[in-house]
Amino acid sequence: MTNFNDAISKLNELDFKNMYNGDFFLTWDKTDDEIKAVWQVADALRALREQNISTKVFDSGLGISLFRDNSTRTRFSFASACNLLGLEVQDLDEGKSQIAHGETVRETANMISFMADVIGIRDDMYIGKGHTYQKEVVNAVTQGNKDGVLEQKPTLVNLQCDIDHPTQCMADALHVIHEFGGIENLKGKKIAMTWAYSPSYGKPLSVPQGVIGLFSRLGMEVSLAYPEGYEVMPEVVEVAKKNSAATGGKLTISNDMKEAFKDADIVYPKSWAPFKAMEKRTILYGNGDTDGIKALEKELLAQNAKHKDWACTEEMMKLTKNGKALYMHCLPADITGVSCKEGEVDGSVFDRYRDPLYKEASYKPYVIAAMIFLAKFKDPVATLNALQKEGKKRVHE
């Protein structure tokens, strides 16, 4: 059971007033207090739900979702978060909209936002596009609100872009905070964020980038490892370096998975596509070069196949702290002998950590709900306390 009073007490110590009427793009846009506020509100909301107390703070309103890439966990987490707060969800299917007829971003954003309180967008497939598109949407609805077209400015929540996956990484971190008994216990702990072999092509870089960009703020030893040629965005590496220097943590980058796993408290082996290849892919798609895209895919699959030894095996796990590091993944994982012939993780390792992995995923709806909550309510502490005091039952038994 999550402790409501403890979450409220910690929330009272934080300065997060600038989150009101704001948006959530990248974790490194936010102050340390604002990041912690999301975790505390997420815990408070979870505690209320565990006590069968309704957290519906909206009587009506919409949460608009736009997924330009496939999704299971994040799609349902966004819907769950909106429902938790009392909002209905409407998915924007671009194929059924007027976007194909040349409708502009400004027009689309305003037309879907008349009664919308939040817009969640996943746009992670093309370098230089996703984050930029999300900014365009926010600029459009901000202007629409100023011009009197919209009664309110919807809050944007980044459900994954080309740079960061904040809802995933914030949920990952909250999972780790609870597993290790508090944020104060993470300082000095080692997390290995490593590339791992996948038989598929073109996986986004936003998870590894999000992990090093966030966990480096916690005073941890962040070990980023990948085969030569699988670099991530250099600007995100710089963010992580600055974070580590500021918190007394450590960031190491290597081409050695074993070294990264050695004495690690947490391991996060996950496949991603090389940054330069993703840049090239974006250009090819922009030019409509289907032959070039096919050639690049063939090239990258062959490149991946050279590194099948980059896998989270039982032998690799023995290298970790006491052989019992916490295994993490954003899911779905490529599981050797289960979902593919050879993949990111051995079936036996995945099975052993199945429950913790599902618990890791369970934090995401609350993290998203907390991001919305902090943006929409001027005094979140008072609102949360009012919900507890009212004690309206979620389920009448």
Check whether residue 139 and residue 222 sit in a common domain: no
CATH number of the domain where residue 122 is located? 3.40.50.1370
pLDDT digits (tens, 9 = 90+) for 170-182: 999 999 999 999 9
Query: Does residue 20 lie within any of the structural domains?
Result: yes
Check whether residue 343 and residue 209 sit in a common domain: yes
Band (103; pLDDT cuts 50, 70, 90): confident
Check whether residue 200 and residue 70 sit in a common domain: no
The residue range of the domain holding 131 is: 4-164+364-390
Compute the distance between CA of residue 13 and CA of residue 195 in angstroms, rounded to an integer. 38
Least confident of 86-100, 101-115, 200-214: 86-100
Extract the runs of DSSP E, i.e. beta strands, from 190-297: 190-194, 221-225, 250-254, 266-269
Check whether residue 118 and residue 224 sit in a common domain: no
Check whether residue 77 and residue 183 sit in a common domain: no
Compute the distance between CA of residue 353 and CA of residue 259 in angstroms, rounded to an integer. 22
pLDDT, mean of residues 304-332: 98
Query: Is residue 202 predicted with pLDDT exceeding 70?
Result: yes
Check whether residue 217 and residue 100 sit in a common domain: no
Check whether residue 258 and residue 109 sit in a common domain: no
Query: Is residue 186 predicted with pLDDT exceeding 90?
Result: yes
Check whether residue 217 and residue 115 sit in a common domain: no
Compute the distance between CA of residue 32 and CA of residue 36 in angstroms, rounded to an integer. 6
Count of domains forming the chain: 2
pLDDT for 95: 77
Query: Does residue 303 lie within any of the structural domains?
Result: yes
Compute the distance between CA of residue 311 and CA of residue 249 in angstroms, rounded to an integer. 26
pLDDT for 24: 98
pLDDT for 100: 60
Query: Does residue 21 lie within any of the structural domains?
Result: yes
Check whether residue 143 and residue 205 sit in a common domain: no
Residue owning tokens 């993944």: 329
Query: Does residue 308 lie within any of the structural domains?
Result: yes
Compute the distance between CA of residue 364 and CA of residue 362 in angstroms, rounded to an integer. 6
Neighbouring-strand partners of residue 251 = 222
Check whether residue 43 and residue 154 sit in a common domain: yes
pLDDT, mean of residues 46-70: 97
Query: Does residue 13 lie within any of the structural domains?
Result: yes
Check whether residue 135 and residue 211 sit in a common domain: no
Query: Does residue 397 lie within any of the structural domains?
Result: no
245: CB partners within 8 A, 6+ apart: none
Compute the distance between CA of residue 376 and CA of residue 397 in angstroms, rounded to an integer. 31
Check whether residue 117 and residue 181 sit in a common domain: no
pTM of model > 0.95: yes
